[in-house]
Amino acid sequence: MKQLGTERVKRGMAEMQKGGVIMDVVNAEQAKIAEAAGAVAVMALERVPSDIRKAGGVARMADPRIVEEVMNAVSIPVMAKARIGHIVEARVLEAMGVDYIDESEVLTPADEEFHLLKSDYTVPFVCGCRDLGEAARRIGEGASMLRTKGEPGTGNIVEAVRHIRQVNAQVRRVIGMNADELMTEAKILGAPYELLVEIKKLGRLPVVNFAAGGVATPADAALMMELGADGVFVGSGIFKSENPEKFARAIVEATTHYQDYKLIAEISKELGTPMKGIDIATLPAEERMQERGW
């Protein structure tokens, strides 16, 4: 009669976040700033990605105390990150009652071969993707929401742009294919065949796809919406900027009115310095988080 954690309930939660901004926070105070600025959810972390980058070593699930502190501080949904393939971190976050788990390449993977079987959980999951094959594999495992991987903690939008364009171009290609071409496409992409059939039928991905990994300014957020993202994750961008409160509000407004360029000009004025970015070309291959997972 009453069914918990169904596909519709899990995907539906992500549908409710559309057009919104999900912000990384590391404590209750930041969570409250994010909520007041209009975030649709917060991601509770021990460190934002740019600090994870600087700290080096193994990055793990946040201390449950931080997650709990954030959950108690706000009424909007709280997400938290588990390492790729770390069944127990995910189960712990689920047991704590977080609203969404990000199986995230920002943390050091626990398993280099297998991602979590996300359909097994009551809590919904979001996962990163760089192309349609990766997107479809994650949905196949039960992800209820996608995001671009981008290159986290760089403040550089170039990789997120590459990933959203790639996924959307491949979705368009699948929609335009003849039915008898889909199996070969599934083989080429490494994607479950049934999902390509579903994408062709729906004319879009069956779950929402947010932008993530490098959004540093209101114009970046609007750019990702323009390119077809359903919403935006902002990691280091907000609380590494000079005036987080103002910055957070500006990114929320730019995401809603992403085609109102006069407004974006207005809200971008006197925002202070955004986070300092990193040129991806200067990042050694082993430091690229997007290469984690498959």
Where in the sequence numbering do the catalytic residues fall? 81
**By CB under 8 A, residue 225 contacts another protein:** no
Residue appearing with tokens 């300014």? 217
Q: Which of 124, 128, 244, 274 binds another protein (CB under 8 A)?
A: 124
Residue from 13, 132, 211, 229 touching another protein (CB under 8 A): that is 13
57 among the known binding-site residues?
Answer: no
Q: Give the CA distances from residue 253 to residues 142, 176, 225, 226, 258, in Å, rounded to whole numbers and listed in that order.
A: 32, 34, 12, 14, 8
Handedness of CA 66, 68, 73, 78 (dihedral sign): positive
Select from 23, 25, 39, 182 the one that contacts another protein (CB under 8 A).
Answer: 39
Residues 241-270 that bind another protein (CB under 8 A): 249, 252-253, 256-257
Please tell me the distance from the alpha carbon of residue 28 to that of residue 224, in angstroms, as a whole number: 28
Question: Does 165 participate in binding another protein (rule CB under 8 A)?
Answer: no
35 vs 89, which CB is nearer to another protein? 35
- Answer for which of 29, 63, 97, 165 binds another protein (CB under 8 A) is 97
Residues 58-77 that bind another protein (CB under 8 A): 75-77
- According to DSSP, the β-strands at 41-44 and 125-129 are unpaired
Q: Which is nearer to another protein, 124 or 244 (CB)?
A: 124
- Burial label, 56 (beta-carbon count in 10 A; 0-12, 13-18, 19+): exposed
Structure tokens, 253: 């407004």
DSSP letter assigned to residue 199: H
**Contact residue for another protein among 23, 25, 41, 44 (CB under 8 A):** 41
The count of residues interacting with another protein (CB under 8 A) is 39
Shortest CB 263 distance to another protein, Å? 9
List beta partners, residue 233: 22
**Could you list the residues that contact another protein (CB under 8 A)?**
1-6, 8-9, 12-13, 15-20, 35-41, 75-77, 94, 97-100, 122-124, 249, 252-253, 256-257
Binding residues for D-ribose 5-phosphate: 24, 153, 214, 235-236
